[in-house]
Structure 1
């Protein structure tokens, strides 16, 4: 359990330190973090970026393992399974939309009067009242 926590913390801390270094904020990091970033830069001159990252995370992991009370050499902890995952998980499917209603439901609804027809009827009623009240 100590090894897993140390590995998780090492990966998270190194990612944070690396991002701060890219944003020119490495001077605000603790001295230990700056030492690890210096080691990372020396690893970059000797190997590729992914190899340098793995080597530096391994150094940070060993340091954290000792700080957390781990005894002896830290065990190898894998970041994740290398085998393809085959579980019984189904893909999310969006439920069918309930809106707009199908055409059969629209055919059963009462037809609405157009706005122009309603306005014409109201105008006729108004003119009718004005004409007959005089």
Structure 2
């Protein structure tokens, strides 16, 4: 059953990739096996709705992959996990919070000493040290 689950997952992923490549006109870069499956998919589309044609093609790919992966006999039916239908798998872009505007005054800002006051204090300290050392 593990081989069957892996084959089914791989078949679904590969078919989705191949289908997207076909939409982007990139089928010529696909392997011959993929092009054959897409041709059978197009033939099935003429006979049945898209959802049924997709499942039928995925089942054909699944059978081929099951044999390649070492599965013996007929491949078992893999029941897809029931999930809520996903309409879009793209996460919404969230803007970062706006930076807070800098306040020019108030209690939140640090009081800044003017450069001249700092220089005057350094001169006083220097003169004081020179005076006490002589």
TM-score, normalization: structure 2?
Answer: 0.61
Distance across 2 between alignment mates of 1:79 and 1:19: 22
Q: Give 1:81 deviation, angstroms.
A: 2.3
Distance across 2 between alignment mates of 1:73 and 1:61: 11
1:3-42 per-residue CA deviation (whole Å, 9 max, x = no partner) reads 0000000000000000000000001000000000000000
Distance across 1 between alignment mates of 2:43 and 2:76: 25
Q: Corresponding residue for 1:75?
A: 76
Distance across 1 between alignment mates of 2:22 and 2:83: 30
Q: Corresponding residue for 2:18?
A: 17
The answer to whether the aligner puts 1:33 opposite 2:34 as a matched pair is yes
Aligned length in residues: 97
Q: Which runs of 4+ in 1 moved over 2 A?
A: none
Distance across 1 between alignment mates of 2:51 and 2:80: 14
1:83-107 per-residue CA deviation (whole Å, 9 max, x = no partner) reads 9xxxxxxxxxxxxxxxxxxxxxxxx
Distance across 1 between alignment mates of 2:60 and 2:39: 12
Unaligned runs of 5+ in 2: 85-134
Distance across 2 between alignment mates of 1:82 and 1:10: 18
Q: Corresponding residue for 2:43?
A: 42
TM-score, normalization: structure 1?
Answer: 0.61
The 3-state SS of whatever aligns with 2:66 is helix
Distance across 1 between alignment mates of 2:82 and 2:29: 35
